[in-house]
Amino acid sequence: MKFNNAPTLLLFMVAGLSSASLYAKEPSRQELVDRIDLLESELKQLRQDVDNNASKESLQVISEKIDGIAVSSPSDTLIHMAGYADVGYIDQESSDGSFGVGSFSPIFHFQYRDLVMLESELEIEIDDAGETETNLEYLTIDWFINDYMALIAGKFLSPIGQFRQSLHPSWINKLPSAPPGFGHDGAAPVSEVGVQLRGAFSVANMRTNYALYVGNGPELLTAFEDGEYELDGVEAEGKGTDADGEKVMGGRFGVIPVAGLELGLSVATGKATVTAVEDGDSSLLSGEAARDYDVLGADLSWSIQAFNFRGEYVETKVGDDIGSGAAASEGATWTTWYAQSSWRPGQSSWELVARYTDFDSPHNSQDQQQWAVGLNYIVASNFIAKIAYEFNDGESGSDAELDRLLLQLAYGF
């Protein structure tokens, strides 16, 4: 008989083997005894081989090969992507309202066992001209030394205070905007390039957390006005080079005395480089030495039932130039603080928010006092719709005095 169907032929072969096994002759008692004796003999020989040094070396080689396989096992590596994005509408006083894309910020995590993790955030934005801008918000390699301590190296968000390192993502921030002075070129540092030691421990049944860092430090921007250079702002955004060779060190210490309450104190000190910007490029300002740079901050967060209250204060002080060839103006101080409260009754989908901020800089045109009130609709734990209005008070004729209406959809993923 000829079979043209391979599966049918395979089925007949399996059936034939199964039938043969049913009618196979069972081994006799003596044959079983002989087989047991043979197995015992082989087991005895194997034990002797294990005790032999050569066999031990062979086992070591096998063990190393197994360890090598385990190191490269895919189950030891965790790859994860998160992030957030937001879109909105801004209608500023004395100007036409515009729709806009706030940012798309994907966050990547690559973790190997409980030993090390690479984490990075990209910030992709569209400017007023419609051009796409891409920035590296942070990129660090985190070494988990133990359960209570991690060493972080690379570009990281500033640990000074809480807003920048914990609250600035749009789906976490309860208002569509950052408090004045906590954005770029404000009083609060944004990021740093260096190394950081973070961890936590308990003291007398009270939880604490800390962050200590050393980094390249900021640059002091200058503007040429009235025949001289004047300090215009502090660019504290993670410089990849240290033009003056002087480092900045600091950190934050937080304590949680009771559940729902956290108090924090932040400090930083070091030197900052004075730069001049020409044709979009910054360079050291001739005749200027590195200046003293000091930051002091305090923050508070308190949650009780449906209420949440938080506040933060940051002061950045730049010293006078002690050299004889100073080209820029005298030292300057930037300070900002805000107090914010929110109420979400009965954990409903609606949330009321109010925030007051006072930002003071060396330039009157940048000074601003702001009341911001908002209403949020929490669609899901990571998706929020916001409407807010800012009542701004600043120098007459400056942008700091213009009120704004803001709408925003923010999604964390």
pLDDT above 80 (res 207): yes
| Cα distance between residue 359 and residue 334, in whole Å | 8
What is the sign of the dihedral through the CA atoms of 376, 377, 381 and 384? negative
Average pLDDT, integer, range 141-146 = 97
- By DSSP bridging, strand 219-225 and strand 261-278 are parallel
Average pLDDT, integer, range 276-291 = 64
| Cα distance between residue 60 and residue 52, in whole Å | 13
CA distances to 48, 147, 162, 171, 383 from 201, rounded to whole Å, are 52, 10, 19, 29, 33
Higher local confidence (pLDDT), 47 or 403: 403
The H-or-E segment that residue 92 falls in is strand 77-92
133 closest CA partner among 168, 98, 177, 184: 184
Q: What is the pLDDT of residues 168-201, one digit of tens each?
A: 999 999 999 999 999 877 899 999 999 999 999 9
Average pLDDT, integer, range 43-69 = 58
Q: What's the chain's average pLDDT? A: 85
Average pLDDT, integer, range 117-146 = 95
Secondary structure (DSSP) of 179-247 = PTTSSTTSSS--EEEEEEEEEEEEETTEEEEEEEEEE---EEEEEEETTEEEEEEEE-B--SS-TT---
pLDDT above 70 (res 410): yes
What pLDDT does residue 37 have?
75
Q: What string of H, E and C letters represents the secondary structure of 229-249?
A: EEEEEEECECCCCCCCCCCEE
Please, how many CA atoms are within 13 Å of residue 79, restricted to the half-sphere of its CB?
2
Average pLDDT, integer, range 243-254 = 92
Confidence of residue 337 (pLDDT cuts 50, 70, 90): very high
Domains annotated on the chain, with CATH = 84-102+161-412 (2.40.160.10)
Six-digit token string for 306? 């449906």
What pLDDT does residue 49 have?
65
What is the sign of the dihedral through the CA atoms of 153, 155, 160 and 163? negative
- By DSSP bridging, strand 228-235 and strand 219-225 are antiparallel
Average pLDDT, integer, range 118-133 = 94
DSSP label of 328: B
Q: List Cβ neighbours of 403 (8 Å cut-off, separation of 6 or more).
A: 92, 93, 389, 390, 391, 392
What pLDDT does residue 1 have?
41
- Helix (H/G/I), strand (E/B), else coil: 39: helix
**Window from 113-127, 183-197, 222-236, 244-258 with minimum mean pLDDT:** 222-236
pLDDT above 90 (res 343): yes
84 closest CA partner among 153, 160, 158, 167: 167
What pLDDT does residue 222 have?
78
85 closest CA partner among 56, 105, 65, 61: 105
Confidence of residue 5 (pLDDT cuts 50, 70, 90): very low
pLDDT above 50 (res 355): yes
What pLDDT does residue 28 have?
66
pLDDT above 90 (res 208): yes
What pLDDT does residue 280 have?
52
